[in-house]
Structure 1
């Protein structure tokens, strides 16, 4: 049962870096640093400034709310990050406070986006569609297009983590309809990404809409999962937490793999992870 209490931190910066090095060496292609807000962590600087070297087919992405990007600009500029993705779920102080329950100003977020653009070639936005920001979606889209930043609009995923936001959920159809007035370039992707998505291109800028009506990607373990009725995302990522737990599904802590016993010999981790994921996708975990 989920208690809501955070686990004690046990992984060090060196642990994270070593695990990444081994998994990338074994074929991991995309790494996302997310949270919460990753830039509030004391491990953010030592991890992000020591990222293992990688080839052109591997990418590191920081997902942030933008509030601390300018504050940490000096060291962020020295990292090996390939991309920064800023969560822009609001476009005014009123919607910012209604959604995030904060006294901060949207000005700080927008400045954080500009700071990211000063440091990194690729900066993207993602916007969670909610009743509180529905009237601002076109303004957010215009902001992105004016700066030629890719943007993703996401329907609210109903999980234990955002149960208090359930009443804010609205569909993506209105933004889909609006995008169709701007472009005829529309594609649909329905496998391998969790929820299905619509991909639009406006003057060469990519806009994704995560659209639940397109379904989601399932694997073997999902077939008999008792939580399937609550699952929106499907299988799309492995999540490594600060306590050494690796989960192929956010809703199933009982399927969590503990890598702490292997940290002294990190070269053992890729094979163990591969075995765990194979068992999950085959439905025998």
Structure 2
């Protein structure tokens, strides 16, 4: 198992398939984009499947989520999903995407074995979408959501980041629209993981502010803490339920003590925390001929050294050098 010195067990693996993205969201990367990883730096499809298989078979991982960048830009994404769905024991498989490629891939992903999707959607206004993402692709995202629903990739979950002065007034409208369409919405506090290192605490819309905006229109009833488990989102029943809304308060209400995640970057580095500044290289060992037992030992050692918390509230906190797009969500 992937244990740490605080008794936490990692059973949820986040696998970044690429650092590339077809949006340029202001809270993630600069308008001109970034220096992408070279093709030889990326894990091959076969290497990804081997490492996921090791994690599932030997290290106790039960859930695998494919991330990016934008994972649907990976040419082999459907084949990777299919190969991972054939693993024993079979993990739960999901993907976090901006939704732009879902209209053309949802059916194939479902047939390959994908269980569900998380789609980023920060606004319903085309002009605000352009201001946030620097691309006019909102119709593609909405078409992707409809395709995911039709393909049975349910429950479809939406992730929204509110930015002060840009889309923070849309919180209640986003929830109303999500309820109407049967999607489960989670608001995420903006985290210090932007490539520009421009994040400020004062500029972030906090969980409390989000809940205030939602409560002005809806009656929110908190779910029991026991129902949350290791999930990052605190959830509330909306107007008595059964539909829910979630808030992921990574900054103001960190949930580190219950964290059950391990991360594999697109270039084969293990990260034991989203905010870690250290990584363990599996790609180099794998390509040097390491056995599964040796790779597993490296992975276990990486997780054993996991810190008690991300330390965002500490004055000496330093943002990771890699931004979110290069880590994987």
TM-score computed with the length of structure 1 as normaliser: 0.79
- Contact 1:49/1:75 (CA < 8 Å) preserved in 2? no
SS at match of 2:246: strand
- Contact 2:161/2:189 (CA < 8 Å) preserved in 1? yes
The reply to whether residue 141 of structure 1 matches residue 175 of structure 2 is: yes
Q: 2-side partners of 1:61 and 1:123: how far apart?
A: 10
Aligned to 2:265: 241
Of 221, 243, 249, the residue aligned with 1:205 is: 243
Structure 1 position 262, deviation (Å) = 3.0
Q: 1-side partners of 2:206 and 2:43: how far apart?
A: 38
- Contact 1:32/1:61 (CA < 8 Å) preserved in 2? yes
Structure 1 pair 178–280 and aligned structure 2 pair: CA distance change class (3 A)? closer
Cα RMSD, aligned residues only: 3.0
Of 150, 154, 159, the residue aligned with 2:188 is: 154
SS at match of 1:163: coil
Task: Please say which of residues 264-273 and 115-124 is displaced more in the overlay.
Answer: 264-273
TM-score computed with the length of structure 2 as normaliser: 0.70
Structure 1 position 50, deviation (Å) = 2.0
Structure 1 position 282, deviation (Å) = 7.8
Q: 2-side partners of 1:85 and 1:282: how far apart?
A: 27
Of 202, 208, 215, the residue aligned with 1:173 is: 208
Structure 1 position 147, deviation (Å) = 2.2
SS at match of 1:32: strand
Q: 1-side partners of 2:231 and 2:92: how far apart?
A: 19
Structure 1 position 188, deviation (Å) = 6.9
Structure 1 pair 249–5 and aligned structure 2 pair: CA distance change class (3 A)? farther
The reply to whether residue 21 of structure 1 matches residue 53 of structure 2 is: yes
Aligned to 1:114: 146
Structure 1 pair 76–58 and aligned structure 2 pair: CA distance change class (3 A)? closer
Of 37, 45, 51, the residue aligned with 2:70 is: 37
Higher helix share: 1
- Contact 2:128/2:167 (CA < 8 Å) preserved in 1? yes
Q: 2-side partners of 1:277 and 1:72: how far apart?
A: 34
Aligned to 2:11: none
Aligned to 2:159: 126
Q: 1-side partners of 2:229 and 2:301: how far apart?
A: 19
Structure 1 position 249, deviation (Å) = 2.9
Aligned to 1:231: none
Structure 1 position 51, deviation (Å) = 1.7
Larger RCO (CA within 8 A; separation ≥ 6): 2
Q: 1-side partners of 2:263 and 2:207: how far apart?
A: 26
